[in-house]
Each structure stands twice: as C-alpha cells, then as structure tokens.
Structure 1
Amino acid sequence: MGITDFFSDVWETFSHPSADADAPPVQGGSSTQSPASGTDEESAAEAEVNKKDATKGGDSSEQGHKPQGSMKGDDDEPEEDEEEEEEPDPKEKLEKECADSSECHGPKHHYDECAQRVTGQIESDGKAKEDCVEEFFHLAHCASQCAAPKLFAQLK
C-alpha cells in the first residue's frame, strides 16, 4: 500500500459518512394510556398522588425537605447574600457615560439611526430586514476604549 492509497482511503472514510450516522435515534413506542411528555397533562395515577400530597397538610409553600445532621449553615443564623454587599460595577457606569459623551458621538448616532430604521421596519412590515449588530459593536468598542483608562485609574 502506497502513500497515495493511504490518503485516498482516508479521504473516502471522512468524505462519505456511513448511512447510520444521520439516522434519528430510535424512540420507544408511544402509549395512549399516559400523556405526552412535555405537556402539563397528568395521568390518573399522578392526579391521585397529587391530591394525597395536597391533603397531607403542612406547609405547601416549602418544597422538598431539609436534611438532618450537622451541615454548614444549620446554625439558625440568616445567610448573608453576597449580592447585597457588593458595590455596583463602575465599569458599566463609565461605559454608559462614555457612550453618551462626545467621544463616541459618531457610533452612537449611527446606532440610534439604525435602531429607528429597524423599529420602523418592524412596525410597518412586521419584521426587520436588517439588524444593528455591527453598529452596536462599534458603539460598545468605543465606550470600552473610552472607559478603560478611567476605570484603571479608579482601581489603582
């Protein structure tokens, strides 16, 4: 077997996928006794179990159970949310200021014009013929370039 035969075999292997590669996965049979998956319907057995659970009493707003034993956070102390303690991100504020500044006036103007054009297309035709992704990225790039030195000066 020569090098040419080797490459032709490799080419045939990868250029012609096997017939079973595109076959859909085999599904089980469908049952007329139970509701279709992905629907909100419940079978008679599920309805009976749900009724029993509802009449058991107890707090229906609590789902699941609390495991017993010594675990972290079992001290009956309220947990502190880290989100409440965090300060707002100065990057977002600086980028918004830069986007509205004269430094990024050109990209912001182009983005606003595009947004008006697309909104008009949606209102008149029900769909837009274009999007403003390119204009948005130009504006975001300008705002990031403007905000970066200010942000690093604050962080020092």
Structure 2
Amino acid sequence: MSPSTPSSSAATEKASTSDSSSQPSSIMSVCSNMIGAVASHFVPTVAAESKDKEEEGEEEEEEEEEEEEEDPEDAAPAIREECAQSKCSKYKHHFDHCEERVRSGKGDKNEDCVEEFFHLLHCVDECATPKVFSKLV
C-alpha cells in the first residue's frame, strides 16, 4: 500500500496545483468585473449618435457656403505704409539712413537702429490708428 500512498499524495498535489492556478484567473475576472461595475457608476458612457443622411447633406451645404464667403481684406497695412511715406517720412528717412550705416559697417560696432525704429513706429501708430478704427465702423 505504500506505493499507492505516494500516488494518492501526487494526485492531491496535482489537484491543489490545478486549483491554485485556476483560482488567480477567477479572482482576476471577479476583480475586473467589480472594477468595471464601480467605474460605470462614476464615469458616464457616451454612445455615438447616428446621423440621418439629410442632416449630413445640410452640413455639407453649409460648409460650402462658408467656404465661398471671403474675408474682407485688412486695410491696416496699407494705411500704415501710407502714413510711413507721408506724415512720418522724416522718421523713415532716419531709420533707412541708420540701416544703411549698420549694413555697410560705417556705424558704431554696437549700433542697432532700435531707437530710430521705435520713433518710426510711434509716428506710424499715431497717424494710422484713427484711420484704421474709422474703417472698422
């Protein structure tokens, strides 16, 4: 009977091994199901709505109409350029002269014409602002 005892103990070991290997997978599935159930209470589920073909056709027509509309051209750059050439011409001349000096290397080593540029922009802004706002109304 001793030979039968080892085989019965081996059968018991196999049974306990198979139970332990199936147990973690069942625990995992139970945990997964519980987590899914809890999450469904806190996180809403959104389903995509199906669109009717009529709605899709209307949307395509609206998109085509939107594409056909052109944006009005911005008048500000033209107005600013006009101001730079007319009322602010002396500031533009000083800035252009400074630029030539810097590019040719005749100016100071650290000269950058920022001051002249700011004077030009200030003058252009003063001149162009009322004209641009009158075009907006």
Q: Tell me the TM-score range normalised by the shorter chain.
A: 0.3 to 0.5
TM-score between the two structures when normalised by the length of structure 2: 0.46
- TM, length-normalised to structure 1: 0.41
> RCO (CA 8 Å, sep 6+): is it higher in 1 or 2?
2
Larger radius of gyration: 2
As a proportion of its length, which structure holds more helix?
2
